[in-house]
Structure 1
Amino acid sequence: MPRRWPIISDQTSRTVVANESNGSSAGAVRALASDSIIGLTLKERYLVEKEIGKGGFGAVYLARDLELLSKPVVIKLLLEKSLDNDWVVQKFRHEIEALSRIDHPGVVGVLATGNMPSGNPFIVMEYVEGVSLRSLMEEERNGMDFDRVTNIIHQVGYALKAAHEKGIVHRDLKPENVMVRQLDGEEEQVKLIDFGIAKVKDSRLAPSTVVGETAGTIVYMAPEQINAQTVSASTDIYSLGTIAYEMLTTRRPFNPTTLFQLSEIQRAGVKIKPSDLRRGLPLAADDVILRALSFEPEDRFATAGKFADAFAEAMLEGTVSASRRAQAIAKTVHLKKEVAAPLPQKRKPWLLVVPVILLLAVAATAAAFIWKSSTRSVANEPVAVSQPPAGNPTTTSAATTRKVDYFLRVQKYLPDGTKYQQPFKSTGRETLADGWRVTLNIASPQAGFLYLINEGPQANTITYNLLYPSPKYSKGSALLAEGQQREIGPFQLDPSQGKEKLWLVWSANEVPEFEAVKGVVNPKDRGVISDQQRIDAIRTFLSSHSSNEPEEYIDKVNYVVQVRSKSDVLVKLIELEHH
């Protein structure tokens, strides 16, 4: 059977607490012609007051239960234009059946169902007074309180467990579909909503979900969901692990732009542990979350309840208390407001580089790195063993091997800009995190000319930003003596996932293409090369000299990359991946 086109919901909150009723009046039929039922009394009980949400397939209304002292309820109505879409109708029936099966205080309750005379089905559901988890997360720029995260994840886990035990897989678990109600004191109660694309096992109302379909919200989807394979309780556990990661760090473990990209990076596994982004997070919590995010479903927790307990124990560094297990009390929760989630920020695939001393006067926008502080030499920089005459180093023959060694020094930073833990050495093969700062350390036993260029795309073209040489050192000369070490940076990784390109050029002689553009390293140009002829010349140079890729040796003990090339000019592309 051919794979069906993916049905991907967007990042906005979808209130699925709904209410509908059978109507028999001509007024009801006329109202439905415009997909509106405001002012109607459905099932001779539910008075529809106003529309509170509308999507491509259905609308959600606030209504009053006239038999229960005008208690607020919500009506979800499938629009008339959706009746011709068998998949949409089937999923609406599955939502009715799912909510009817589940009887748990952590899942929104269904009160009634019915059909309008025109055939439009509807659901009447409890009105949840509270806020979405997304809105709570947006209030905490540095991550939510550990105790609060533990409480919410534990409740969601047990609500999912109740659904799974009834053969229901939510398939669209995300912060927008978790409502949080403030109870007496500081206690909070969680409600799962929006079972609109749930998978219902052995459905009595509609056939089983078609094999080969992809449905959900892309950034919270499990690998098997993306690949249109069989979904199970493990699918929801993966989504809950993603939510836990995001609640603690303010970031998701993966931030793809396409389904294909997400599938590839999921297979590679999570590169940045939550504890790398959040100070004080127990290391045991890393293990629990990463297990929930395992690529293979069988490697995750057996049940959502076991994940919830393991997470609580890791966060609390002990057995979860009985009070935690009793949080989900059996009370109706009322919906106060639903806050729409912001659309994901557009991801830029390169870094922005600007000297920090220039940031005081000029806004940084143009280049691929953010140069957070000026390039500087290491303390007690080694004195040259032999200093060749300026601008005229010893010329080597073509048979001479050019040698250069480099390593990165990485400093972690929390989302609030606070330095975190001690810096560590890296070869650049590790995946780094957005916002971390990187210093490039370069040395060679030979004298030569060093150039460092950042490449990035802009408006479907290639742009270059000259990082080194800089007038701050040796009056802008690119010449380094034998044994001299140069520390360039630090650079702050721009908060956009991507693979950054740094061209390291180590030449026995001056390189005219780069010497001609040294003047752009100034407060006005900020290293950006704008002359098209110069750009073309640099592109040609890099292309011609990178065809013979240099040999590379990695010292895994000292985290040093040794690069060798049997040429007067060594050109090495350094790619840094970060999320």
Structure 2
Amino acid sequence: MDIADSEVGRHASAPNKLVVDSDRYVIHSTLGAGGMGIVYLAEDLKLHRQVAIKKLKDDAASQNARDRIQQEARLLAQLNHPNIVALYDVLEENGSVALVMEYIEGASLRAWMRERTPSLQQKLSLLMQISLGLQQAHDLDIIHRDLKPDNILITENAKGQPTAKITDFGIAKSQMLDEKTLTAENQLAGTVTAMSPEQILGKPLDARSDLFSLGTIAFELLCGSRPFDKHEAGALAMANRITNEPHLPPQQAWPSIPEPLAILLDKLLAKDPAQRPESALIVHQGFALLHKQGLDTETEDYTATLTDLFTRQQVKSRRRWQRVVAGIAAALVVGAGGYWGWKEITRLEPQYIAVMPVEINGEIHGEENAVALTRTMVRQALMNSVSQLKASALVSFEPKEGMDFEAQLQALRNKGVTDALFARLECAEVRCEIELQRLNPNNSQVQKQSGFAFLADKRQEAEHRITSGSIDLFAESYSKYIAAHETMTEQDYSDYLNILSRQESKDISADDVETLKKFIGSYPQNPNLYRAYTQVATDLFVLTDNKSHLQAGLDMLERAKTHDISASLILELELWLQTYNANKPTLDKLIEKINQQEAPSAELLAKLSRYLFTQGDYKSGLKYARKAAALNPSADNLYLVALNQISTGNYSDARITLHQLTSNAPEHWPSYSALGVIELESGNYSAAELAIGSIPEDSRSWRTKQNLGVIYFLQGKYPESLKISQQILSVTPENIPVTEQIAEIYLLTGDTEMAKVYFFRLLDLTKNKSGLLERQYHALALANTNQQDVAIPLAHELLKDASDDTYVKHTVAQIYALASEWRSANYYIEQLLTQGMSAEWFNLPGFQKLCTQPETSEKVKVAICN
């Protein structure tokens, strides 16, 4: 239904009685009315706040209307977002339904546009807010279907800035629900002028239908007119225009519209949903990129700046460039936008760039470690060049030992790398000839190359020249700017390179931290120094387990914030440090920061997902893995999605993800191992063995070999399983999972004494360890060494930290069984069986004790008992 502007009817007569029998809400006035409903201003006597109560009109209270308002209540109950009107309560009595909602003191967007002359920045800000609200609904599979200016309320926040609130989900559709009851009385639910072509034609809808409606709102807000003028012949003629005729070109409605903004509007209003942006989040990123450029909003300088940034016209003012770059570094360096935002707004294909190992031939005279210092300098120069390219992100890459060149390219393909930078040096004494190459990992071809000579004893000048030369390997349209060359003294620069060189081999000390601190004091605007400081501080923590090093790193990042260092870089480094702290409240705040960031990079999201995965928070891990894969659908990011799906027991979706992955990246061996795990847990041992057998012998990690041992174990082939496990243990003698597996093999072969030997060894290996995996195995070892009273509290902690983890449930079930807590053991075994875990996983003696217990359910007995 339509909600009238808040001014309309504010003083109209209103019932001086409650909407339904209630001693909590009192009506004060009427806020507005539509065809089916009426909205009142009321007071919540319990919480002492104003609320809006939406109630069906008595003459409109048909079953279909009731269904709609109940549907709105169900959907609003799922939504919790600052840009969506909140639902507080539902009142029902004798077939009457009323929604108690957040009261918004303001006007509809339609009224706000009539009465205000907002700046372009304010308009873009509102569109960004609407996009974020829509994304939250779409994340819950909710499509609004009637998004229009009348259904967006504008209020002001504490700072007096306009805030948008999406309202009226009366005909919204959950893609998980059947909507036939909601359209029985009106086959074309909604307002024609707000509808997408596919909605008018009655076709299946997805989130992109709302994006078309958002496009009509954005067009009217930005251009001052509607993309499809109202037709005198009525709604059917308007519907025909929307489905068959082009929209008004943005340039015709607003001749001076910045080109990127016109492109975005055209994309939103595309007839074919496939031609629109993929999500509201990406639309938000598009508006955000434009919003960040703002200098003087409605000026020629603003438009020229946009043109400079996105269409690569000649730069008119170096000073203006510097002002723009300082304001938008975080958005355009590493963390810039999503795939669609880069490709369509900037008209540049996104680039994910990795730096390959530097190759040096010949000798370099000078210090004893002159070759290592030169290699470090070249690598830094190549990495710096990426930050000075538009639509480009640096992908971290460290090849494994023994990887040949082709294997490195394959690893880059798996990471979704589009371009690789490679440098080869031929040196004699202090003169080096360098060959720079830009490679395409997908076809192993050299895209462009260049070369020149430099003096190895003039490394600082050489670094600047190599950075510039690397930028020149890319199309001119990608070149953003050449950063100012902040010169360090020769001695400082040499010492700095020395630290970086030793840091790669973890040969660092507390003195290096102090040296870098001194350098930051002298060169506070050099971002590379903050990155180096964070790396060294983290390495020192790993070596010493002294958390003061982590705190020193965090303190230095606070200092970086006062020197215009990229917010994206600071956030990345802060995440790096805090993952070692493993402090959940702090990490929750950090995650909130990442969520508030307008355009976090795929690399940052993947890093966060990997951390959450290691902590057993697979739902959150899956959320961020999907976001990373949406920005960069690399094999590694899709693999991260699959790992989280497997760990929550969602085998069917994980199979789909992995089959998609292996069809696109047939040599991504970890994916075959993951498929093997799914089949293994499902009891399909032949399929599991086939998946793992697809991996070349020299590419099998110890985990993959262990999985093969588990296959033999579950098939009752204990000698074969023991042989593989002991081979792994001979190479990695402190391997916790393999030690536990050997203990269980001895249990099943009846050698309880040897089993206890390995369980006690497992206790030692996991003692005082805080990781989820270590705590899990420690609890299991306690239970198998007759210390069940200590193991059970640990089991409770594991469930609290990782309640969805398949292996945690299996461990807890075993602990309860060994403690003779039959009902609890039965409960978790039933869960695992329902999720698809095969009966062979319960062959251990502790589980088999359930077969004689009266508390054990018939389902469990039938499944696991012989």
TM-score normalised by the shorter chain: which range applies?
A: 0.3 to 0.5
Q: Flag the structure with more relative contact order, 1 or 2, with Cα contacts below 8 A and sequence separation at least 6.
A: 1
Q: Using structure 2 for the length normalisation, give the TM-score.
A: 0.31
The structure having more radius of gyration, on CA atoms, is 2
Counting strand residues as a fraction of each chain, which structure ranks higher? 1
Counting helix residues as a fraction of each chain, which structure ranks higher? 2
